[in-house]
Amino acid sequence: MPIPEIRIDRDGPVTTVTINRPDARNACTVAMIKALHDAFMAFEADPQARVAVLTGAGGAFCAGADLREIASGAAIGFCWAGEDKGVTRRMLRKPVIAAVSGHAVAAGLALAVWCDLRVADETAVFGVFCRRYGGPMPNGCTVRLPRLIGQSRALDMMLTGRAVDAREAHAIGLANRLVEGPALPAAQRLAQELAALPQTAMLSDRESIVRQWDFPEDEAIRREIEGSMPAFHEAFQGGAGRFVAGSGRHGDGVGSAG
């Protein structure tokens, strides 16, 4: 069932999911994580929804797990990447963009790196702050963070628990875009841009990038080719013809259904 701490807004093909607990810097209870899981499963199943944006209300992205719930023992054993509606268990089949203002720390960092892209403003702070009080990261972050920024930098963040500000995050590739002003409008504009592109080829290339870690190089390339075939047959010839005819040159008119 929907809960007020997770808000869902739709603007055409873009779905914005907001963690709405600003009084606690959007720290998440187990119920909130399960509601996030359900929200993203609904997004993935909706044929009209193409790109999602994940953000937090009130100037923070997510401060991780609710420590009062952890201290009570009620959340012990529940993992954000677990099989019992752990939202970071697997990547979706559609892109998700994180709009990061304020803290994206502890398990909130795991939410940010679960997303395909991260748009951060100058208030953003990333870090494994749970290192300070003995919290582990069973939420996909120890796998995804080094794949994004390299093992050495990931170990520096994981072992020390230090704060990484927006500028450093952008410099090391943790934040894809660093923007002036709030991150959410910029992330939503980017989401609309992605949603306007021909989808079949974009999604097959995304799938190859996400899944290639599981296979040796030759098998990964075979799967890349296999996955691209629907785009070749469904859209590429027509798209190439439009380009030859003058559409899409210099980046204009490239967005279309497909």
117 phi and psi, to 5 degrees?
A: -135, 155
The distance from CA 52 to its chain's CA centroid, rounded to whole angstroms, is 8
Domain that includes residue 240, residue range: 199-246
In a domain, 163, yes or no: yes
Checking if the pLDDT of 42 tops 60, the result is yes
How many domains in the chain?
A: 2
Q: Which two tokens stand for residue 254?
A: 């490239």
Same domain, 137 and 59: yes
Residue 254 lies in a domain: no
Q: In terms of domains, do 143 and 230 share one?
A: no
**Within a domain: 251:** no
CATH (domain of 160): 3.90.226.10
Pairing of strands 164-165, 125-127: antiparallel
* Predicted TM-score of the model (pTM): 0.90
Whole-number mean pLDDT of the chain? 92
Q: Where are the beta strands (DSSP E) in the chain?
A: 6-11, 14-19, 51-56, 96-100, 103-105, 117-121, 125-127, 164-165, 177-179
Q: Do 79 and 126 sit in the same domain of this protein?
A: yes
User: Residues 60-72: pLDDT tens digits?
Assistant: 999 999 999 999 9
Whether residues 81 and 129 fall in one domain: yes
Instruction: Give 120-178 pLDDT, tens digit per residue.
Output: 999 999 999 999 999 999 999 999 999 999 999 999 999 999 999 999 999 999 999 99
Is there a contact between 99 and 53 (Cβ–Cβ < 8 Å)?
Answer: yes
Question: Is residue 73 domain-shared with residue 148, that is, in the same domain?
Answer: yes
Chain centroid, CA 163 distance in Å: 20
